[in-house]
Chain A
Amino acid sequence: MATQETRLAARLLAAPSIGLLFVWMVVPLAITIYFSLLNYNLQTSVTTPFVGLSNYYYFLTDPAFLTSIMNTLLLVGAVLVITILGGLGMALLLDQPIWGQGFARIMVISPFFVMATVSALIWKNLMMHPVFGIFAWIASLFGAKPIDWFGDYPLTAIIIIVAWQWLPFAALILLTALQSFDQEQKDAAQMDGAPPIPFFFHILLPHLARPITVVILIETIFLLSIFAEIYVTTGGGPGLASTNLTFLIYQTALLQFDAGGAAAGGLIAVVLANIVAIFLTRLVGKNLEG
């Protein structure tokens, strides 16, 4: 249907977005590449400005580097699994004929609106504090020793916080998908006497493949750069137990004020993110095309 003229118009209309995003990508990238080759610490005098690839060398050989990659993957993976499973469960519940569905939905959606710093503060102080927190109180009701979340299970604690923030997002998208699943189809399936479990796996789940893909895609983009939750609660520790790549770069940039090292780290992160992106593209390409 697209005429020559439509094509031209389309190009013109898409141009500002593409152009702006291109500039937004290229200019910082160019400056970052430049910085990454310098011995540029904000706090010191520059004596040997050009140092070649030594920033990359130091960043890649930093013992924290591999740990931080592992933690990043663990964090992203675990949160994806929890939010999708939990979100699916919540969506299935909310899709049942229940009273006051709107109110239940309001409660479920709320964490999504809370800014990361605030949710980290709530969980750190009010929920997971080993002496005054709600969890410690619950443990004491059962006579158990309260868990020292940020000392003993720092990454788990952060996964819980982040999953709590993103579960609503998954639940809502999946709920919308469930609701679009034609009531007639459901009735027909029930009429046929399809038992609930095969019905779920053979009919419902394939229908949800697309929304699940979307959840994975969007969440991954945000989860790769999780920062505030770590900053507020554990500061990456104890040791390196909860340091992800973003936090490692933050430490280089704003605690060591090593702008050169941080630039190198940022570029390494971009490369890694693009590897993830290629993987995602495959996934999305398959599922979104259809």
Chain B
Amino acid sequence: MSRQHSLSRRITMTTIAYLFAFMIFFPVLWMIITSFKSEIDAFALPPKFLFFHWTLENYITVQGRSNYPLFAANSVILAGGATLLGLLVGIPAAWAMAFAPTKNTKQILLWMLSTKMMPAVGVLMPIYWIFLKLHMLDTHIGLIVILFLGNLPIMIWMLYTYFKEIPVEILEAARMDGATRWKEIVFVLAPMAVPGIASTVLLNVILSWNEAFWTLNLTTTSAAPLTAFIASYSAPEGLFWAKLSAASTMAVAPILLLGWFSQKQLVRGLTFGAVK
């Protein structure tokens, strides 16, 4: 009887959960479906959900117009570079704050977060000038530095919260064995913090990948990532929704796939110290 009850409850819960999940997912799904339609079908009323002539022509047109692999490669370089640099600088800082906190540590962390509150568009001209003088416009390194600095506060904060959860005794034991500071970080701390580091990396890759102000304004061709790619489709002459959907799908596909495959990892780590 009770089993029956829990089974029916389970069915109900699953149905409700999937209903809502599907509603949240629908716009993304609809974009993907539309990308395989002809332009005429994309405007059909009532909308055609599955039964239409599926075609790849939009993808072929989009690729024919702009060199997608180049933009995608730039996105990978920028997101990867910024994240790597972030780890390099962020892990030591987070370590220091977690294991040798001073009474100012909290203040410093919050100050770091507050640097993210300046609206980017307000400092565009100053940054543009600096980049111009340093010949960093449209270079990978310039963009990597900007994205790295933009996300560093979040990164340090995330890492800090993970490190804080690591029992101090373990470090002390390592120290007893004569481990140096660097060895301590690299061989003892880092492995323990892998889940935390992994989700920090994922979150930063996502944020860097989707950053659309600096990447658009400080690049022209050689360092232009997918945000610039999508900007060349966002308001074309005439509404080409199917092509727009194809370009959009191409722009988000890599990060979407990465997210789907690593969602367990991301979810496990996405706590910001919120869970004790």
Contact = CB atoms under 8 A, between A and B. Distances in A.
Q: Do A and B share a direct contact in the complex (Cβ within 8 angstroms)? A: yes
Interface of A: 1-2, 6-7, 9-14, 16-18, 20-21, 24-25, 27-29, 31-32, 35, 42, 89-90, 93-94, 96-100, 102, 104-119, 121-123, 125-127, 131-132, 134, 137, 164, 167-169, 172-173, 175-177, 180, 210-211, 213-214, 217-218, 221, 224-225, 227-228, 232, 245-246, 249-250, 253-254, 259, 262-263, 265-267, 269-270, 273-274, 276-277, 281, 284-285, 288
Contacts of B118: 25, 28-29, 266, 269-270, 273
Given A115-B209, A214-B272, A35 B126 contact: yes
10 contacts: A17-B112, A20-B89, A31-B125, A108-B24, A109-B259, A115-B251, A137-B47, A173-B271, A176-B270, A270-B117
B27 A211 contact: no
* 3 shortest interchain CB distances as A-B pairs: A266-B122, A10-B100, A273-B117
Given A93-B20, A262-B122, A132 B117 contact: no
Contacts of B194: none
Nearest to A101: B17
B46 interface: yes
Contact of B45 (A118, A132, A228): A132
A126 B34 contact: yes
Contacts of B252: 113-115, 118
A125 B244 CA distance: 10
Mostly, the B contact residues are helix
Contacts of A117: 212, 227, 230-231, 234
B245 A126 contact: yes
Which of A17, A134, A259 has the most CB atoms of chain B within a 10 A radius of its CB? A17
Contact of B93 (A13, A96, A214, A224): A13
A175 B267 contact: yes
Given A96-B10, A108-B25, 13 more contacts: A1-B168, A32-B122, A90-B21, A98-B18, A111-B27, A113-B256, A132-B45, A137-B46, A177-B274, A211-B271, A228-B212, A253-B121, A284-B110
